[in-house]
Amino acid sequence: MARRHGESMDRTGQDSFLDIVTNIVAVLIILVLVVSVRARRAPVTLSIDAPANATSNKKLEQDRATEATLNDLVWQEAAKIRNIDLAFRSSNARRQELDRAVLLVEKELARRRGELNAQAQADFDRRRNQAEADARLAELRRQRERLAQSVVKPVRVEHYPTPLSRTVDGQEIHVHLSGDRVAIVPLDALLHDTEEAIRQKVARLQQVGELVDQTAPRDGFRLRYTVRRFEMLVRNEGGGRSLQSGVRLELIEVLPVSHPVGEPIDAALAEGSDFYRKIAASDPARTTVTIWTYPDSFDAFRRMKEWLLRRGFLTAARLRDQGELITGSPDGSRSAAQ
């Protein structure tokens, strides 16, 4: 109904347009006729001058010829408009006939569909369901054949137990892991060098209050330390109080001597490397390996942790941002091993 209503609106608009065009052409024809009549009835003033009279007659003949030409053009255009109108009306008549034919066919199909009995409808539904099932079965068979032809490689999933972490309280080996390179930090030896240096500079600390210095290099690393003098009141045996001073290690920072530092991860885990010898000389039952890991070496960290786990060592992870130093202080936390 919506389609036929829209087509009726279109035909009405087209008919109105043709009516307007026809009316305009009719008005033009009437104007031309009025002008022609007035031209014929207009008085003509004759002049005694014979050459001027001849010129006027010639001009009049030209005007009449022009008038006749315009009349012919107007009537031709009017004929074209009538032909277009007739063709349009004929086209609309054919379209209406086609619409009526389509409507009759739809009614006939609906009538025949309604005449089908319940058994015929059930047969039709059963055939349709059977065709859909056959198509689905054929697709499943094709999928099974593709799966049978494809070779799927098994995926190996390794699982490692994750015990509860505990604070490291025994021997600890510190490992610097950056750029997939492994280096053992001789932290105990560097701390020993720091203590010796502080003892030698106690007198200077009495004057400056705070001191920042570095140790000599050891195995590719040096230690930068910050020491500060402090004072406090201490109760003595007689019940009085006395002012005493001391020094305190505020901060340590591990500085690589050069870049890159250490061995590549493949070489470090191979027998005979410095890392391998250090680990082999340690007791897994009393030693924890703390790995200071940087973002560019997470894959190497997993390999090292698995390698140490197979040898019975507990590991502790210390994550550092790229370019951040290994640091420590009296207020810091101890490593937690797993």
Q: Mark whether 313 and 175 lie in a shared domain.
A: yes
Name residue 301's amino acid: F
d(CA 278, CA 304): 14
For 7, counting Cβ atoms within 10 Å of its Cβ (0-12 exposed, 13-18 middle, 19+ buried), the class is: middle
Domain boundary among 79, 94, 115: 115
Tens of pLDDT, residue by residue, the chain (338 residues): 444 445 555 555 566 777 777 778 777 888 778 777 776 665 555 444 555 566 777 888 888 888 888 888 888 888 888 888 888 888 788 888 888 888 888 888 777 766 666 677 777 778 888 888 998 899 998 888 888 876 556 656 555 555 444 555 678 999 999 999 999 999 999 999 999 988 888 878 778 888 899 999 999 999 999 988 877 777 777 666 777 777 788 899 999 998 889 999 999 999 989 999 999 999 998 999 999 999 999 999 999 999 999 999 988 889 999 889 999 887 766 555 45
d(CA 227, CA 195): 10
Q: Mark whether 197 and 285 lie in a shared domain.
A: yes
Q: Mark whether 185 and 82 lie in a shared domain.
A: no
d(CA 315, CA 290): 6
**What is the predicted pLDDT for the residue at 164?**
45
Structure tokens at 76: 């031709």
Q: Mark whether 91 and 175 lie in a shared domain.
A: no
For 219, counting Cβ atoms within 10 Å of its Cβ (0-12 exposed, 13-18 middle, 19+ buried), the class is: middle
Pairing of β 241-256 and β 326-328: antiparallel
Query: Does residue 107 lie within any of the structural domains?
Result: yes
d(CA 318, CA 288): 13
Phi, psi dihedral angles at 203 (to 5 degrees) = -60, -40
Query: Does residue 133 lie within any of the structural domains?
Result: no
Q: Which 3 state secondary structure label does DSSP give 251?
A: strand
Q: Mark whether 20 and 105 lie in a shared domain.
A: yes
**292 CB neighbour count, 10 Å cutoff:** 24
Residues near 95 by Cβ (< 8 Å), separated by ≥ 6? 7
**177 CB neighbour count, 10 Å cutoff:** 24
Q: Mark whether 196 and 327 lie in a shared domain.
A: yes
- Tell me the pLDDT tens digit for each residue of 315-333: 888 999 988 999 988 776 6
Across the chain, where does the E strand assignment appear? Answer: 166-167, 171-178, 181-185, 210-214, 221-235, 241-256, 263-264, 287-293, 314-319, 326-328, 336-337
**What is the predicted pLDDT for the residue at 333?**
61
Query: Does residue 125 lie within any of the structural domains?
Result: no
> Which neighbouring-strand residues pair with 173?
289
**263 CB neighbour count, 10 Å cutoff:** 19
Query: Does residue 26 lie within any of the structural domains?
Result: yes
Query: Does residue 41 lie within any of the structural domains?
Result: yes
Q: Mark whether 203 and 300 lie in a shared domain.
A: yes
- Tell me the pLDDT tens digit for each residue of 46-70: 444 555 566 777 888 888 888 888 8
* Measured CA distances, 27 to 16, 23, 31, 34, 271 (Å): 17, 6, 6, 11, 113
Cα 313–chain centre separation: 43
Query: Does residue 151 lie within any of the structural domains?
Result: no
Q: Mark whether 83 and 170 lie in a shared domain.
A: no
Count of domains observed in the chain: 2
Query: Does residue 105 lie within any of the structural domains?
Result: yes
Name residue 86's amino acid: L
* Measured CA distances, 32 to 67, 82, 237 (Å): 8, 19, 141
Query: Does residue 158 lie within any of the structural domains?
Result: no
| Tokens 């829209």 sit on residue | 6
pLDDT over 90, % of the chain: 27
Query: Which structural domain, as residue segments, surrounds residue 171?
Result: 166-337
Q: Mark whether 232 and 325 lie in a shared domain.
A: yes
d(CA 295, CA 304): 15
Q: Mark whether 302 and 178 lie in a shared domain.
A: yes
